[in-house]
């Protein structure tokens, strides 16, 4: 994860999500120094976030694209950034949106979530449902792709209502970025 500590790493990963592959020169508006960009791309490739493919047509150039791991990291960075701005947006079809909203409304109709506290590597959330209260721990854990995500102990899931709620908390976003920067 050391490559994510390098300057411009997040910006480059975000840019690479815009299309399937990029030429190196298309990234110069983010990183103007050829040497700095080479160092960053080499580090991202070494850590498995990108793939560089040599083009044999004409001059020796290469294309850069995200690996599955890189896509997952870029997606999580985008979610964290949007959550920090209060702009969580999902690009889904109208039918799926209605279904998701109906499920979410059913799921939260008798549910109340409240932030309790943040610790070194997890936060606690209080869930009140139908008069019953329980404390839920939400940890920062790596998924199968090695991407740091929020994991709910109660539901044994990265994508339950508790983890989604936790993303909206400034304390969780601060904890997440601290863990990412520490390279854990």
125 falls in which pLDDT band (50, 70, 90)?
confident
Q: Is 49 within the bounds of a domain?
A: yes
Number of domains in the chain: 2
> What is the rounded average pLDDT of the residues 149-178?
82
Distance CA 9, CA 76 (A): 14
- Is pLDDT above 60 for 152? yes
With a CB cutoff of 8 Å and minimum separation 6, the contacts of 46 are 3
Number of DSSP helices (H) and strands (E) in the chain, helices first: 6, 7
Residue 111 is assigned to a structural domain of this protein: yes
Same domain for 173 and 99?
Answer: yes
Same domain, 110 and 165: yes
Do 105 and 162 fall within a single domain? yes
Chain mean pLDDT for the chain: 76
Q: Flag whether 99 is in a domain.
A: yes
My answer on whether 62 and 102 are in the same domain is no
Q: pLDDT tens across 89-118, in order? A: 334 344 444 444 444 444 444 567 777 777
Residues 177 and 119 in one domain: yes
Do residues 45 and 52 lie in contact, with contact meaning Cβ atoms separated by under 8 Å?
yes
Q: Which pTM does this prediction carry?
A: 0.49
What is the strand order of the sheet 148-152 is part of? 111-118, 122-129, 132-142, 148-152
What is the rounded CA–CA span in Å between residue 90 and residue 167? 14
Is 99 found in the same domain as 61?
A: no
Q: What are phi and psi of 159, to 5 degrees?
A: -130, 35
Q: Which domain holds residue 32?
A: 2-66
At 39-90, the pLDDT tens digits run 999 999 998 889 998 876 666 678 899 988 888 888 877 776 665 555 443 3
In a domain, 100, yes or no: yes
Residue 76: how many other CB atoms lie within 10 Å: 19
Return the percentage of the chain with pLDDT > 90, whole number: 7
Neighbours of 125 (CB within 10 A): 23
Q: What are phi and psi of 8, to 5 degrees?
A: 80, -5
- Sequence-distant (6+) residues with CB within 8 A of 83 are 167, 168, 173
Is 74 among the domain residues?
no
Burial class (CB in 10 A: 0-12, 13-18, 19+), 140: buried
Q: What is the pLDDT of residue 88?
A: 42
């Amino acid at each position: 994860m050391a490559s994510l500590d390098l300057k411009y790493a997040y910006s480059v990963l975000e840019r690479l999500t815009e299309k399937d592959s990029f030429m190196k020169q298309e990234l110069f508006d983010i990183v103007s120094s050829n040497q700095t960009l080479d160092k960053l791309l080499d580090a991202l490739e070494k850590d498995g976030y990108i793939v560089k493919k040599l083009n044999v047509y004409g001059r020796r150039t290469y294309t850069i694209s995200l690996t599955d791991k890189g896509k997952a990291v870029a997606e999580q960075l985008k979610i964290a950034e949007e959550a920090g701005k209060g702009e969580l947006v999902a690009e889904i079809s109208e039918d799926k949106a209605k279904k998701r909203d109906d499920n979410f409304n059913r799921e939260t109709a008798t549910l109340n979530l409240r932030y309790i506290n943040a610790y070194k590597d997890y936060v606690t959330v209080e869930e009140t449902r139908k008069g019953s209260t329980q404390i839920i721990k939400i940890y920062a854990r790596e998924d199968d792709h090695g991407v740091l995500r929020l994991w709910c102990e109660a539901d044994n899931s990265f994508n339950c209502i508790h983890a989604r709620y936790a993303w909206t908390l400034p304390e969780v976003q601060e904890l997440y970025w601290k863990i990412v920067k520490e390279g854990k």
